[in-house]
Amino acid sequence: MSSFSDLGLSKPLLEALSHLGYERPTPIQEQAIPALLEGRDVIGQAQTGTGKTAAFGLPMLQYIDAEDPDVQALVLTPTRELCIQVTQALRAYGEKRGIGVVAIFGGAPIRDQAARLKQDAQVVVGTVGRVMDMMGRHHLFLDKVRYVVLDEADEMLDLGFLEDVETILGRAPSGRQTALFSATMPPPIAALAEKRMYEPVTIKVRAATLTIDTVEQFYVEASDRDKPDALTEVIKAERPEQALVFARTKIGVDRLARRLNDAGVRVRALHGDMSQGQRDGVMIAFKGGRERLLIATDVAARGLDITGITHVINYDIPNSPDIYVHRIGRTGRAERTGRAITLITPKQRGDLEAVRKHANTDIVEWSPNGSSPPRQAPPDAQAAPSPEPSTEEREPRQPRRPRHTKPRERQGPRTKLVAGAGRRDGLEPKDLVGAIVDHSKLEGEDVRNVRVLERFSFAEVPADRAEEVVSKLAGAVDYDVEVAKR
């Protein structure tokens, strides 16, 4: 495999990559970067997690004129979360060149974003709806744009944005360079590429298969009340070089970070309620090895891909065995061994057994002196039934009601909500329904047509309660929930 210096990247970009701890290019980077540096249009068929942000971002940043204040590049994303993630990455890559990267997305004040566009906005990363809005208000002009990237194009199609994407591409100069990245290539996306791209190079790569063969796995059983102390004991006994601790919610991350810091264990927190600047600072410090312990949610930790992590600790056991494998696959890399420790309550023994069976691995009881009993399943695991695997279209389980009452049917128009999390975050239909019911006081029957896709999910609620649901879920769950664009 080649190094980044072999791909033709400039010295400032190579310095930024070295500072961020990037060692070697991924397959999509190795193939896409030279083609984009040659000025070719590129279609990249690649899953999330293959390194495609650097694949399209580095060549773009190399040719941006840092002295020209005009908008020279546009990256379109389907969701706000992806918009923020791409922006953070591009800012880090382009820091040495002094390139201004501005994010524009729904749910934030238009006035603030419009002001940033008037400053050093040489690269704009935006969700489709907000880009359309900014163009309509004459805050964003694309006449000087030389590079356009469509990131996660198939998700734009699923969200109904393809017509708007066509409009945006029609506003950009015909001589621009275009890159399109998509996990799949449904016919409408292929037709868009045929119409809007010039002799594109097509690159197909598969996501690297996560391996956990190099990861020693343990569990610690404790009551909910004792879990913070158990975590503190684990960290002090293990003394990790660098550890990533996963908690389920933003509130849980903050609470746990305070508890550990009060106990004399220095940790940093990372979640979606933090400002972009705060998140940038934490992620760069952790990637650079200046912070040893990081507590994060699954959503916030998406952009963290670091070979030096020695420990992954699941403070909250994931609600999907696939998420467990993905989490602990962040350690034990680059021919090194890693350790994964999962905290469970007595009621979660069955959940841990389901993970063990799904991953076909051993998870043994952790001991503070470093020794462990013979490899075996958790106590009582043999009697614990393994839940059936969930599917995208499974109907969520509805709350049980007394027999003498009838479910309340709510009539009238309904509104579709879109949540910025999906299967890759461990979200299942029952989780989304449960969050809506728990925080908005709707009945389970009020939440219908729930669909969980790879990166986002849908649900329909009564139209007169939609804004209330969105408001109640803000800050209560670690993903954005918005009224879907019609």
Looking at CATH, the fold of the domain delimited by 414-483 is given as Alpha-Beta Plaits (3.30.70)
Q: What is the pLDDT of residues 456-473, one digit of tens each?
A: 888 888 988 889 898 888
> Cα–chain-centroid distance for residue 441?
28
pLDDT of residue 34: 94
* DSSP β-bridge partners for residue 101: 123
In the numeric block, which tokens belong to residue 436?
């809506």
380: left (phi over 0), alpha (psi -120 to 50) or beta: left
* DSSP β-bridge partners for residue 103: 125
Read off the DSSP letter of residue 272. Answer: T
pTM for the complete prediction?
0.55
Q: Which CATH class, in words, describes the domain spanning 4-204?
A: alpha beta
In the numeric block, which tokens belong to residue 386?
């393994």
Radius of gyration of the chain (CA): 23
Please, is 52 exposed, middle or buried when counting C-beta atoms within 10 Å of its C-beta (0-12, 13-18, 19+)? buried
Residue 427: CB atoms within 10 A of its CB come to 26
Q: What is the pLDDT of residues 175-228, one digit of tens each?
A: 899 999 988 888 999 999 999 999 999 998 865 555 567 889 999 999 988 999
Q: How would you label 365-400 residue by residue, b for 16+ Cβ within 10 Å and e otherwise?
A: ebeeeeeeeeeebbeebeebeeeeebeeeeebeeee
Q: Rounded to 5 degrees, what are φ and ψ at 344?
A: -130, 155
Task: Give me the amino acid identity at 446.
Answer: D
SS (H, E, C) 324-356: HHHHHCCCCCCCCCEEEEEEECHHHHHHHHHHH
Fold match flag (228-373 vs 414-483):
no
Per the CB < 8 A criterion, the answer to whether 205 and 48 are in contact is no
Per the CB < 8 A criterion, the answer to whether 448 and 437 are in contact is no
- Selecting from 1.20.140.10, 3.50.7.10, 1.10.3720.10, 3.40.50.300, what CATH number does the domain 228-373 have? 3.40.50.300
What does the DSSP assignment read for 279-336? Answer: HHHHHHHHHTTS-SEEEE-TTGGGG---TT--EEEESS--SSHHHHHHHHTTSS-TT-
* DSSP β-bridge partners for residue 269: 295
Give the 3-state secondary structure of residue 201.
Answer: strand
Distance CA 248, CA 263 (A): 21
pLDDT of residue 411: 58
Tens digits of pLDDT across the chain (486 residues): 578 889 999 999 998 888 877 778 888 999 999 999 999 999 998 866 678 899 999 999 999 998 999 999 999 998 887 888 889 889 989 888 889 999 998 878 889 999 999 987 999 999 999 999 999 999 999 999 999 999 989 888 878 888 999 999 999 998 899 999 988 888 999 999 999 999 999 998 865 555 567 889 999 999 988 999 999 999 999 999 999 999 988 888 899 999 998 888 899 998 877 876 787 788 778 877 888 999 988 777 765 666 678 999 999 988 777 778 878 877 876 567 889 999 999 988 888 888 888 778 889 999 887 544 443 444 444 333 333 333 333 334 344 333 333 334 445 788 888 888 887 777 778 778 888 887 877 877 788 888 888 778 888 889 888 898 988 888 778 788 888 865
21: left (phi over 0), alpha (psi -120 to 50) or beta: left
CA nearest neighbour of 392 among 423, 436, 348, 414 = 423
Spell out the domain ranges in the chain.
4-204, 228-373, 414-483
* DSSP β-bridge partners for residue 477: 474
First to last CA, the chain: 46
